[in-house]
Amino acid sequence: MPKNTKYRAKEPDENGFIDYDPQEDAVWRDLVARQQPSVERLAAAVFLEGQKQLDLPKDRVPQCVEVSQKLQGLTGWKVAPVPALIGFKQFFRMLSEQTFPAASFIRSREDFDYIEEPDIFHEIYGHTPLLADARFARFSQVIGETGLNCDKSDYAWLIRLYWFTVEFGLIREDGAIKALGSGLASSPEELEHAIHAPSVERKPFDVMDILRTPYRIDINQPIYFVLEDVAQLTEIQNRDLLGDIRKARDLGLHAPTYPAKQT
């Protein structure tokens, strides 16, 4: 996550609604129109089913309150608008309370193709379809609960498990690799890259391997982890994740497979 942003949060009114202007609605409309055909080809069935259940508007920015009404009926979750950047502690607390923090602004036309910080297109279009599935919803809550019990120094280790599953996870369906992660679903370039790029290493899902794998947020990932079944996320609920983190720290990080970021 970037340390600063040029974007400012949009504040909801007393009923929880945010006033998005016609230009912002048009950005949402055009983002959906560009992304949806690729998602229908490359996204996992669980993501597509979540889209169907939520039936998000295609021509305007959705309101968190209306998305929450649907999610609460499906998995008990809700979506709450937040500033562009929040800390790990707040993020984990909200997940533990079955609340997904959604940055309330939408990217400008200038950043149409890529925005480093998450905006409401990434949050709502990318994340909420997975939260419509009880298994992903519970996995996200477990990440939050674990984060609340972590030492601050463990946050970066735990978030890798979220990064390589909810954000950039892959899954095998009928012998084919499909995209699960919200970061993939909301990124036209990386969605194709993750599924088709010959340079990508697609590794079997393994918690310890994931905890030890460094990443950069500003490049297409060189490594992805592939679930064989969503049930593998359910199994994580019974793991001692704090113990896993301690073991991963003792073993240390794998050597990065990406170039160092230029400063």
Give kind and range of the element (H or E) at residue 42.
helix 22-42
What's the CA gap between 258 and 256, in Å, rounded?
5
Q: Which of these, 96, 143, 99, lies nearest to 245 by C-alpha position?
A: 143
Amino acid, single-letter form, for residue 16: G
**CA-atom Rg of the chain in angstroms:** 18
Q: Is 167 annotated as a binding residue?
A: yes
Residues in contact with 14: Cβ distance below 8 Å, sequence separation at least 6, in sequence order? none
What's the CA gap between 11 and 210, in Å, rounded?
36
**Residue 74 vs residues 17, 55, 63, 122, 234: alpha-carbon distances, Å:** 21, 13, 17, 21, 17
What's the CA gap between 119 and 166, in Å, rounded?
16
Residues in contact with 195: Cβ distance below 8 Å, sequence separation at least 6, in sequence order? 42, 170, 177, 178, 179
Residues in contact with 8: Cβ distance below 8 Å, sequence separation at least 6, in sequence order? 83, 84, 105
What's the CA gap between 113 and 82, in Å, rounded?
23
What's the CA gap between 63 and 18, in Å, rounded?
7
Give kind and range of the element (H or E) at residue 195.
helix 188-196
| Binding-site annotation: residue ranges | 122, 127, 167
| Binding-site annotation: residue ranges for Fe cation | 122, 127, 167
